[in-house]
Amino acid sequence: MNFESLLISKPILKALQEEGYTQPTPIQEQAIPLVLEGNDILGCAQTGTGKTAAFAIPIIQLLSKTPVNEKKRLIRCLIVTPTRELAIQIGESFDAYGRHCGLTNTVLLGGVNQNPQVAALRRGVDILIATPGRLLDLQHQGFVSLRDIQIFVLDEADRMLDMGFIHDVKKLLAIIPAKRQSLFFSATMPPSIVKLASNILVHPKKVTVTPVSSTVELTDQSVYFVEKEEKNALLVHLLNSKNIQTALVFTRTKHGADKVVKTLVRQQIKSEAIHGNKSQNARQRALTNFKEQQIRVLVATDIAARGIDISNLDCVINYEIPNIPETYVHRIGRTGRAGAKGVAYSFCDKEEKNYIKDIEKLIGKKIAVSKADF
C-alpha cells in the first residue's frame, strides 16, 4: 500500500515525498482513513510506530478543507502531550507534512519564556501543540481560547497519568467544546487509561499495532549481571569495544544520569544528560548534538526520553533496570526501528534481578546473558 491509496490530498503527498516517505506504517494505514471519516480513535501504539504522522496527516487534510481567515485564525485543533521534547517533535511533524497547506501551528511548553509563544498566539494559530501546565497557565491569563476546537488529541496518555497530569487533562476537557472529534493514544491500556478514554471518546474506532511484547523482536538483547560499583567500568568497556557509534543510556534518576556523564567525560567519551532538572534549551541542545553525532552518548531518564525519536540509533543501554517491565520495552524500542536491527544491553545488579524476571515474563522470552570480560 502507498500513501496515494489512503486518499491523501496532493499538497500533503508532495510534502511526504519531500520527506522521503514512501509507504505508510501499519498504524498510519489503519488510522488515517478512520480519522478522515471523522471518527473518534482509541489508539494503542508506542513511540516509533509512526503514530504522529497517523494523526497529523489527516488533521492537516481535514482543517485544510475550510478556507482560512488570515485576519482571524482560530485554534481548531489541540494536541496535548506530556513532555516538552515530544511537543517540539510533533510541531516539527506538522511543519513538515503541512508545508504546502497554509496552516499555522505553534508549540506551548514550560521552562522557556512565554513571550514568543504569546506573540505566536496573537498572530493566530490553527493547530496548537502543548504540554498541560503551560497551556492552562496561558489559558488562565487569557492568551488562549479553546472555544473553537474541532479536533482534540491526547497523546501518550499513560505517561500523562504517570506524570500526574490527570487533573490538568480533566480541566481541559471541561473547557473545550463537547462536540468535537477526539483522538486518544496510549502505549499501554491499564484500567485507569480505559476509564479516561471512555470519558473523552464517543463510539471510538480502535487502532492497535505491535502489542507491547512484540516490539522487541528486532532487537538483540543481552543482560550483564554485575555489581553496582562495576557498572561504570562495564559501560566504558562496551562503548570502547563494541564499535558503538551512538548509544542512548538510561538511568532511573536525574542524579544518576549526571554521574554517568561525569564518568564518561573523564574517559574522553563525549556525552550529555537530559532530564527534568535541565532547562528546556539545554535538553534540546543535547538532543540536537546527539542527533548530529556531535556527542556519542545521550544519558536520559525515562520521563525526559519519552517521545524522543532518534533514527539510526545503534544501541540502547539500560545502566539501571526499570522496575516497570513496560518501561524496558519503551526504552529498547528506540533502537531497531523501521526494520533495522537494534542492540540493547542491560546492566543488572543483585537488587535488580527480580525486575529482569518481570521483563522476561512480559516479553515472553529469556534475555541472553553476556559475560562481563572487562
Which range (96-100, 235-239, 272-276, 352-356) has the least confidence?
A: 272-276
> Residue 89: which pLDDT band, with cuts at 50, 70 and 90?
confident
Total-model pTM:
0.68
What pLDDT was estimated at residue 200?
95
Q: pLDDT digits over 5-38, tens only?
A: 999 999 999 999 888 788 898 899 999 999 999 9
What pLDDT was estimated at residue 308?
66
Residue 252 and residue 230: Cα distance in Å, rounded?
Answer: 17
Is it the case that residue 211 has pLDDT exceeding 70? no
Signed CA dihedral, 92, 93, 97, 101: sign only: negative
Residue 315 and residue 99: Cα distance in Å, rounded?
Answer: 33
What pLDDT was estimated at residue 261?
96
Extract the C-alpha cell encoding 183.
483522538
What pLDDT was estimated at residue 71?
72
Kindly list the structural domains of the chain, giving each domain's residue range(s) and its CATH number in brackets, ordered by start.
Answer: 3-208 (3.40.50.300), 214-370 (3.40.50.300)
What pLDDT was estimated at residue 207?
93
Is it the case that residue 291 has pLDDT exceeding 80? yes
What percentage of the chain reaches a pLDDT higher than 70?
94
Angle at 314 between CA 364 and CA 361, to 5 degrees: 10
Residue 152 and residue 238: Cα distance in Å, rounded?
Answer: 44
- Mean pLDDT along residues 237-261: 91
Is it the case that residue 295 has pLDDT exceeding 60? yes
Is it the case that residue 118 has pLDDT exceeding 90? yes
Q: pLDDT digits over 341-364, tens only?
A: 789 999 999 999 999 998 888 888
Is it the case that residue 213 has pLDDT exceeding 50? no
Query: 268 or 69: which carries more pLDDT confidence?
Result: 268
Query: 296 or 19: which carries more pLDDT confidence?
Result: 296
What pLDDT was estimated at residue 338?
54
What pLDDT was estimated at residue 344?
93
Q: pLDDT digits over 298-330, tens only?
A: 999 877 676 566 767 889 999 999 887 878 887
- Mean pLDDT along residues 238-246: 87
Mean pLDDT estimate for the chain: 89
- Mean pLDDT along residues 37-66: 90
- Mean pLDDT along residues 38-53: 86
